[in-house]
Chains A and B, each alone.
Chain A
Amino acid sequence: MIEARGLTKRFGDKLAVDQLTFTVEPGRITGFLGPNGAGKTTTMRLILGLDRPTRGSVTVHGKEFSRLAYPMHELGALLDAKAVHGGRSAYNHLLCLAQANGIPRARVGEVLDLVGLTEVAGKRSRGFSLGMGQRLGIAAALLGDPAILMFDEPVNGLDPEGILWIRNLMKALAAEGRTIFVSSHLMSEMENTADHLLVIGRGRLIADCSVAEFIERNSVQSVRVRTPKPELLADLIAAAGGTTVAGAGGVLVAQGLPVDRIGDLAFENAIRLHELAPAQASLEEAFMELTADSVEFQAHTPGSGTASRTDRMHPTGVAS
C-alpha cells in the first residue's frame, strides 16, 4: 500500500505536484494517468525519496521509503530503463543491486530467466535495445520479490510485442497478489490493464475511481441520425428532453436520449431516417478533455467514500 497525504513538490516557481492525496490499494493494478508533464514521474520519485516533498508525505507500507528495513523486498521500481551504467554487464548490474539488500546471488539468475535475458546476461547493457533495457529494469524491480511494483511509462517506445509482454507480465504479477502502480499518458493502455485509476493533470489529482466508473462518468453517449427533416426531428428530440447539434447533410448528433427512443420518435412521427447509430466518445477523448486544462475542473468531494479519502477530487463533468 502506498499512501500520499497532501504531497506537494515545488521546483522554483513551478508546482510539479500539488497536494496529492491518494492510496494505492494492495492487490490490484492502479493506473496513474496524466499527460506528459502532469507530475507522474515526480510523484514516483517522491515515493522513492529521490526527491524530497516540499510539503506533505508519502509512505510505503506505512513507512517512509528510506525507513524500510529491506526496501527491495517491499517495493520494486522501474522509473527509467536508461538509469544503468552501460559499461556493466546485465548480470553484474543486477548483482550489485541484489547485494545492496542482502539478496542471494541465485536470485539474479532467476530474474534474468523471468525476463528472458539469460542469454545476454554477460553482455554490457550499453548495447541493449530499448526493449531489452526495459526487461533489465523490470528484472531489477523483481529482485526483491516485492509486494509492490511501480513502473513509470513501461511501454513507452516499445514495439507491439514488447507492449504485449509488459501488459501480460503486469497482469500475471497482479494475479500473484501484488500491488502494481503503473503510470501512462495513454488511456487506451490503462483501459486494457488497470483496475483502478488515478488521473492527474498539472500536478493535481482530478480523478480517483475504478476504470468502469471512469468510463461511465466520462464517456458521453450520443446518437447520430441522418434524416431529410432534421429541423422537425430536432424539435421532437428537444420536446422529449434531449439536445441536438445539427451537422451538414441532414445529420443530427443528439444527446440525452437513448438510441431506441429517438428511433421511436421518428417512427411515431413518420420521419424517414437514413442513419441511426449510437456513438460513444472514446475514452481517449474523454481523458484528453479531462486533462486538457485541469484548472477548469472544480474539485468537490464525492458523496461516498471513506473519511480518509474525502479529499479525493472528481471532475464535474466533461466539457462539451
Chain B
Amino acid sequence: MTTTQIAPAARQRLLPPEAGRAGFVDALRSEFTKIRSTRSTYWTLLALIVVCIGIGALACAGTASHPQGISAAGFDATQQSLAGLYVGQLVIAALGALTITSEYSTGMIRTSLAVQPRRGVVFAAKGVVFAVVTLVTGLIASFGSFFVGQAILSGAHAHLSATLGQPNVLRAVIGGALFLTACGMLAYGLGAVFRHTAAAISAAIGLLFVVTVLVQFLPHSWQDSVDKWMPALAGSQVWATKVTGGAHQFPAWGGFAVLAGWAAAAIIVGLVLFRTRDA
C-alpha cells in the first residue's frame, strides 16, 4: 500500500518486519500473557495443588491410623498418597474447558481472531501453553502429594511407605502430572466443541467421572471389556505402581495411551470445529 507514503513524514510509522509473518511463537507469547493475567488461573491452580496434597494426606492419615489388615505386598503407598488426583482431575478439567470457553463467554475470541485470523495457530498455541502450565503445576501437586503422604505413612508404619527409588514409583509420581495434563487437554478439546463453559465442564466431568461410575453397574462379563477403555480409569494406571481395578486392565503406559487417545479425539474434533465454524 502507498498509504504510508501519504502519511506526514513527521510521524514515524510502526512497520512490521519485512519478512515472515505473525506465527506460532508470537501466538505462544500472546497465550502465555492471557493465561497469566487472569486471577482465575491462579485460584484454580492453587486449588489443584491444595486438593491433591490435602486429599492425599487425608488418605494416608487414614491408613496410618488404621493399618490393621493392610499387607505391605498388596498396598500401593504411592497411589494412596496420590488419591487427590481423583478430584484434581475435575479441577484441571474445569480450567482446561475455561481456557477456551472464557474467550467465548467474554467475546474475547472475536478480538483474538481479528489479530490472528489463522485459527489453527491460535488453537495450537492456546493448547500448548495450557498443557505446559498444567504439567508444571501437576508436577508440583504430584510430588507434593507423594512427599506429604509418605511422610505421614512412614511416621506411623515405615514398612507401608514408598520411596522414589522403589520400582515404578518415580514413574507413577510423574505419571500423576501427565494424567492431570491429559485430563485438562481432554476438557480443552471439549471446550472448543461446546464453546460454553457449563456444557464443556459437564461433558468433561461426565466423561471422566460419571462414566467411570456408571460402568460399575454393567454386568461383570461386559464390565471387564468396557471399563479398561474408560478415560479416567485407564489413565489412572499410570499413577499407580501396580495395575489396579483387575488383571484385565491395561498396564501403566497402555492405560495412559487410552486416556491420551480420548484427549486427542476431543482436541481434533475441537480443532476442526474451531477452524470451520463462524466465530
For A143, give the chain B residue with the smallest CB separation: B115
A164 to B251, CA, bound (A): 69
**Contact indicator A176/B30 (Cβ below 8 Å):** no
Number of interface residues of B (CB under 8 A): 46
Which among B2, B7, B14, B276 is the interface contact of A103 at CB below 8 angstroms?
Answer: B14
Residues 12-58 of B contacting A (Cβ, < 8 Å): 13-17, 20-22, 26-27, 29-31, 33-34, 37-40
**Does chain B have a CB within 8 A of A261?**
no
A103 to B15, CA, bound (A): 9
A217 to B28, CA, bound (A): 53
A68 to B115, CA, bound (A): 10
**Does chain A have a CB within 8 A of B113?**
yes
**Does chain B have a CB within 8 A of A72?**
yes
**Does chain B have a CB within 8 A of A242?**
no
**Contact indicator A84/B108 (Cβ below 8 Å):** yes
**Does chain A have a CB within 8 A of B225?**
no
Q: How far is the CB of B118 from chain A (nearest CB, A)?
A: 6
For B278, give the chain A residue with the smallest CB separation: A51
**Contact indicator A61/B1 (Cβ below 8 Å):** yes
For A70, give the chain B residue with the smallest CB separation: B16
**Does chain A have a CB within 8 A of B103?**
yes
Contact bitstring A45-65, B, C-beta under 8 A = 1, else 0:
100111110000000010001
A101 to B30, CA, bound (A): 9
A176 to B38, CA, bound (A): 36
**Does chain A have a CB within 8 A of B68?**
no
With A77-B114, A97-B30, A100-B26: A85-B38 Cβ-Cβ less than 8 Å: yes
**Contact indicator B115/A97 (Cβ below 8 Å):** yes
A79 to B115, CA, bound (A): 12
**Contact indicator A49/B117 (Cβ below 8 Å):** yes
**Contact indicator A147/B111 (Cβ below 8 Å):** no
Interface of A is mostly: loop
A96 to B125, CA, bound (A): 13
**Contact indicator B30/A70 (Cβ below 8 Å):** no
Q: Give the bracket for the number of chain A residues in contact with chain B.
A: 35 or more
Residues 90-108 of A contacting B (Cβ, < 8 Å): 92-93, 95-97, 99-103, 107
**Does chain B have a CB within 8 A of A89?**
yes
Q: How far is the CB of B112 from chain A (nearest CB, A)?
A: 7
**Contact indicator A83/B107 (Cβ below 8 Å):** yes
A53 to B268, CA, bound (A): 24
A177 CB contacts on chain B under 8 angstroms: 3-8
A147 to B278, CA, bound (A): 26
Q: How far is the CB of B33 from chain A (nearest CB, A)?
A: 4
Q: How far is the CB of B279 from chain A (nearest CB, A)?
A: 5
**Does chain A have a CB within 8 A of B11?**
yes
B31 CB contacts on chain A under 8 angstroms: 96
**Does chain B have a CB within 8 A of A196?**
no
Which of A50, A100, A101, A176 counts the most B-chain CB atoms under 10 A from its CB? A100
With A87-B38, A177-B7: A71-B116 Cβ-Cβ less than 8 Å: yes
**Contact indicator A83/B16 (Cβ below 8 Å):** no
B13 CB contacts on chain A under 8 angstroms: 145
A89 CB contacts on chain B under 8 angstroms: 37
For A44, give the chain B residue with the smallest CB separation: B114
A93 to B113, CA, bound (A): 14
With A49-B117, A71-B116, A73-B16: A140-B111 Cβ-Cβ less than 8 Å: yes
Q: How far is the CB of A8 from chain B (nearest CB, A)?
A: 14
For B36, give the chain A residue with the smallest CB separation: A92
**Does chain B have a CB within 8 A of A86?**
yes
**Does chain B have a CB within 8 A of A276?**
no
**Contact indicator B3/A71 (Cβ below 8 Å):** no
**Apart from A77-B114, A84-B111: 16 A-B pairs, beta carbons within 8 A:** A27-B3, A49-B113, A65-B117, A69-B20, A73-B15, A83-B106, A83-B107, A83-B108, A83-B110, A85-B106, A89-B37, A95-B37, A100-B112, A107-B14, A144-B16, A145-B15
